[in-house]
Amino acid sequence: MAKKTTIKDTRPIKQDNDKTTKLEAFVADSTGTKLTTNHGVNINDDQNSLKAGDRGATLLEDFILREKITHFDHERIPERIVHARGSGAHGVFKVYEDMSSTTRAAFLCDPGLETPVFVRFSTVAGSRGSTDLARDVRGFAVKFYTQEGNFDLVGNNMPVFFIQDAVKFPDLVHAVKPEPDNEIPQAASAHDTFWDFISHMPESAHMVMWLMSDRAIPRSYRMMEGFGVHTFRFVNAQGVASFVKFHWKPLLGVHSVAWDEAQNISGKDPDFHRRDLWDAIEAGAFPEWELGVQIVAEEDEFKFGFDLLDPTKIIPEELVPVQRVGKMTLNRNPDNFFAETEQVAFHVGHVVPGIDFTNDPLLQGRLFSYTDTQLIRLGGPNFHEIPINRPVVPVHNNQRDGYMRQTINRGKTSYGPNGIAANDPQQVTAADGGFVSYNERIDARKIRARSRSFFDHFSQARLFFNSQSEAEKNHLIDALSFELGKVKMVEVRTRMLGLLSHIDKGLAAAVAYSLGLHVPLIPLEELNSSVPADADPADYTPEQKEGELAKSEALSMSGTVKDTIATRRIAILAADGVDGKSLSKVKDALVAEGAIVHIIAPKLGTILSQEDQQIQVDESFLTAASVLYDAVYLAGGTNSSATLEAEANAVHFLNEAFKHCKAIAADVAAIQVLEATYFYKKLPDEYSQETVLREGIVVSEDLSSLVALFIRMIALHRFWDREVPRKIPA
């Protein structure tokens, strides 16, 4: 048989590399003369979801809301659209006292019951690869594995939100995400599209105050509050309902880092918060929060000057105190990050008997959105069967098959009612624990509108600003100046200044000065651009109210817990020839108080004390940085001090710690190292204990007195008074 000959085609392959031409058919401008659905239907109102009355439930009939949110929920594969970067841990929750008078939720009614939980903390805007230290909202989601099924308390570290209606959620996230033409910037709100959106949405004013405050850059996940954001309902066994707001109060207090420090940490250790949580649990320093609730009787729904259903509002704690009803302890790290932290699926719609929803229009939209998102992110309708999402109680229903089904269901029937299987599984009466929705009366017309009770956008933003300490106010002004300074379009900056002037004229003037602009006079009726096509703009004009309170102590971090140094990271600077005895005494005293102490030297390995003892070094100046520690101690010893004085990195370490307002202590024998710093000559000549606790710097030859004062200083967290008179290069 003759061998088949293959003739090779040597003609040059014609290539068409003109991608622009190929893509032209698919290019469309992002703007147009008419707003339409994906199917070309003109939209009359893109600002409000369809409700049963202006304060009523959102209707499933709203095809515009469903299309918009469905498309939005499926925009990213596979990471979460928001809250992509997270960190999680297992733990337990126990209620202090029986709460059956207000709720029939079993895990809140039995003080002897220990409920397993899984918690996921997260940033919101950034991708999975972004930094932990972005200026951002932090997610605080808790999955309770109760004996009645899973309850998910899906919240944030801020109690309010940017928008009042879920129909605007895709717009908000599109605005804050990297700009679509260049995918810049990552994990940052300091750009044109975000502030353009905010400047046209005065309902965001309150949330902007929180976002620009120090709450947006927490010291750790363990030192931040959590909030359920929405108003929910408690329902007791008698069917009596009350409104409830959920809070998480950290037992270590609420603390932050400085903005300049946060930017440095992002370069030194972008996993700073993840590592902090993991290390604390591994060390047995289990993070703890108390669950707090604000309960409002149904008959008091309208007694406040704000609407309980408005997610841009808080209930000030002076009006309704927070009752601390239980404690959550995180005591175990995940075994596998992907299988647990990444695959965990939270949903505001996962409630148990005794907890129910309200007609908050943002909450109503989230009830649809979460399931829709998990369908694409986790591969189909069986995401509840992934181990981290499984309840601790058996699951029986007639749902079958689908992608990634893991349960092998026996039997002939998968429907109900049925006679073949004696109608099994059967419905459960309320008396036996069956979930029954609260019997709320609904009598309203179908309408796309917003209640006038939602239109006070500034009184609580003003309350938040007025409640801050002077240092916190300065930080907030600096944050707004930084963010708006990154905005390229002057008209956006100017419009935002006009919005700020309705919160506080002094705030607006301070930001305007930094931007080199004047505060414009923008009337209230010109602020709101989210007006439906056929609506009277007057109906959407924001209201200017004073509010019930001038200040609220709970809104400032200055009054938080400051009586412990547990888990604080302390750096001890030392070198060969260090006074080993005094170093050990200081270190032992700090460790006894629960602090984490690292010895930092010019090189790794060991240093030799003046007593000829080898001391293990934890970090060198090459790998350590002051931004990773809460306080600094300068050990004594003649040779050690001489080495550190000549070590530029040691001097910079101290200068930077001073710049970021941290506690600094030094053995009197190390005074020459302090003298080499920039800040030393600016310190007071005479020191008293009062001066020390104000300045946050102590030098003493009395080691016992020094250690006691140093511990008090660390507990105070920061000495923000340093910032105003003495800015230093570092």
Instruction: Report yes or no on whether pTM surpasses 0.75.
Output: yes
Q: What is the pLDDT of residue 13?
A: 47
Mean pLDDT in residue range 83-95? 97
Residues 106-124 have pLDDT tens digits of 999 999 999 999 999 999 9
Does any domain span residue 451?
no
28-32, 76-80, 147-151, 545-549: least confident range: 28-32
What's the average model confidence in pLDDT over 611-617?
A: 96
158-162, 431-435, 624-628, 634-638: least confident range: 431-435
Question: DSSP secondary-structure letter at 502?
Answer: T
- Mean predicted confidence (pLDDT) in 21-40: 73
Of the candidate ranges 115-119, 271-275, 407-411, 662-666, the one whose mean pLDDT is the lowest: 407-411
CA 542/CA 382 separation, integer angstroms: 44
Q: What is the pLDDT of residues 347-389, one digit of tens each?
A: 999 999 999 999 999 999 999 888 888 988 998 889 999 999 9
- Whose CA is closest to 403, among 422, 416, 420, 384? 384
Q: Taking residues 590-601, what's their average pLDDT?
A: 97
pLDDT value for 689: 66
Judgement on whether residues 572 and 710 belong to the same structural domain of the protein: yes
What is the 3 state secondary structure string of 676-718? CCCCHHHCCCCCCHHHHHHHCEEEECCHHHHHHHHHHHHHCCC
Same domain, 201 and 318: yes
Backbone angles phi, psi at 693, to 5 degrees: -70, -15
Q: Could you tell me if residue 695 is inside a domain?
A: yes
In order of 530, 543, 713, the CA distances from 535 in angstroms are: 10, 17, 58
At residue 341, the pLDDT reads 95
Question: Quick one: pLDDT at residue 350?
Answer: 93
Based on its alpha-carbon atoms, the radius of gyration of the chain, rounded to whole angstroms, reads: 29
Percent of the chain at pLDDT > 70 equals: 94
Residue 727 has pLDDT above 70, yes or no: no
Which band of pLDDT confidence, cut at 50, 70 and 90, is reported for residue 427? confident
Question: Which pLDDT value is given to residue 64?
Answer: 86
Check whether residue 384 and residue 281 sit in a common domain.
yes
Contact present, 128 and 79 (Cβ < 8 Å): yes
Do 331 and 190 lie in a common domain? Answer: yes
639 is an active site residue = no
* Choice among 48, 150, 156, 382 that is catalytic: 156
550 and 613 belong to one structural domain: no
End position of a domain, from candidates 523, 558, 593: 558
Dihedral angle of Cα 150, 155, 159, 165, to the nearest 10 degrees: -100
- 426 falls within a domain: no
Percent of the chain with pLDDT over 90: 74
Supply the pLDDT for residue 7.
Answer: 43
**Which has the closest alpha carbon to 485: 259, 202, 730?**
259
4 — pLDDT class (breaks 50, 70, 90): very low
Question: Which residues share a beta bridge with 614?
Answer: 608
Note the pLDDT of residue 9: 46
The region of weakest confidence among 50-59, 71-80, 669-678, 696-705 is 71-80
The verdict on 526 and 546 lying in the same domain is yes
What pLDDT shows up at residue 6?
43
Looking at residues 41-54, what average pLDDT do you find? 89
More reliable by pLDDT, 36 or 113: 113
Report the pLDDT value the prediction gives residue 680, as an integer from 0 to 100: 86
Query: Could you give the C-alpha distances from 569 to 301, 333, 469, 565, in angstroms and in order?
Result: 46, 20, 25, 9
Query: How far apart, in whole angstroms, are the C-alpha atoms of residue 574 and residue 598?
Result: 10
Instruction: Using CA atoms of 556, 560, 565, 569 in order, give the dihedral in degrees to the nearest 10.
Output: -30
Together in a domain, 521 and 599: no
Quick one: tokens of 110? Answer: 């039995």
Whether residue 12 lies inside any domain: the answer is no
Predicted pLDDT at 11: 45
Q: Give the Å distances, CA to CA, from 311 to 201, 308, 638.
A: 14, 8, 60
The boundaries of the domain holding residue 80 are: 50-389
Tally of domains within the chain: 3
593 and 671 housed in the same domain: yes
CA 703 to chain centre: 40
347 a catalytic residue: no
Q: Calculate ∠ Cα 401-403-405, nearest 5°.
A: 55
Helices and strands in the chain, H and E counts: 18, 20
| β-bridge pairing 569-573 and 596-601 | parallel
Q: Is the peptide bond before 185 cis (omega within 30 degrees of 0)?
A: yes
Q: 425-433: long-range contacts at Cβ-Cβ below 8 A with a sequence spacing of 24 or more?
A: 425/396, 425/397, 425/398, 430/353, 433/106, 433/148, 433/353
Has residue 700 got a pLDDT over 70? yes
Residue 411 has pLDDT above 50, yes or no: yes
pLDDT digits (tens, 9 = 90+) for 335-354: 999 999 999 999 999 999 99
Res. 728 pLDDT band, cuts 50 70 90? low
User: 610: which 2 tokens?
Assistant: 């003046």
The residue count of the chain comes to: 730
Do residues 361 and 221 both lie within one domain? yes
Query: Do residue 201 and residue 267 come from a single domain?
Result: yes
Neighbouring-strand partners of residue 569 = 596
pLDDT at 208 over 70: yes
Give a yes or no: residue 59 inside a domain.
yes
In the prediction, which pLDDT does 75 show?
A: 76
CA dist list (Å): 203 to 130, 161, 177, 297, 540: 28, 9, 19, 26, 11
Q: What is the CATH number of the domain that holds 508?
A: 1.20.1370.20
Active-site option among 83, 230, 247, 475: 83
Residue 444 lies in a domain: no
Give me the pLDDT at residue 14, please: 47
Give the DSSP per-residue string, 283-335.
TT---EEEEEEEEEEGGGTTSSSS-TT-TT----TTTSPPEEEEEEEEEE--S
pLDDT computed for residue 55 by the predictor: 92
Task: Show which of 354, 389, 424 is a domain's final residue.
Answer: 389
Same domain flag for 222 and 346: yes
Q: Do residues 494 and 623 both lie within one domain?
A: no
Residue 257 in any domain: the answer is: yes
Residue 342 exposure: Cα atoms within 13 Å on the Cβ side: 11
Do residues 93 and 144 touch, judged by C-beta distance below 8 A? yes
pLDDT band at 1 (very low <50, low <70, confident <90, very high): very low
Mean pLDDT of 672-678: 93
Q: Which of 371, 389, 407 is the last residue of a domain?
A: 389
CATH of the domain at 613: 3.40.50.880
**pLDDT averaged over the chain?**
92
Residue 687 in this model has a pLDDT that exceeds 80: no
28, part of any domain: no
C-beta of residue 556 within 8 angstroms of C-beta of residue 468? yes
pLDDT, greater one: 396 or 174: 174
Among 228, 212, 87, 219, CA closest to 157: 228
Q: How confident is the model at residue 226 (pLDDT cuts 50, 70, 90)?
A: very high
Quick one: pLDDT at residue 3? 43
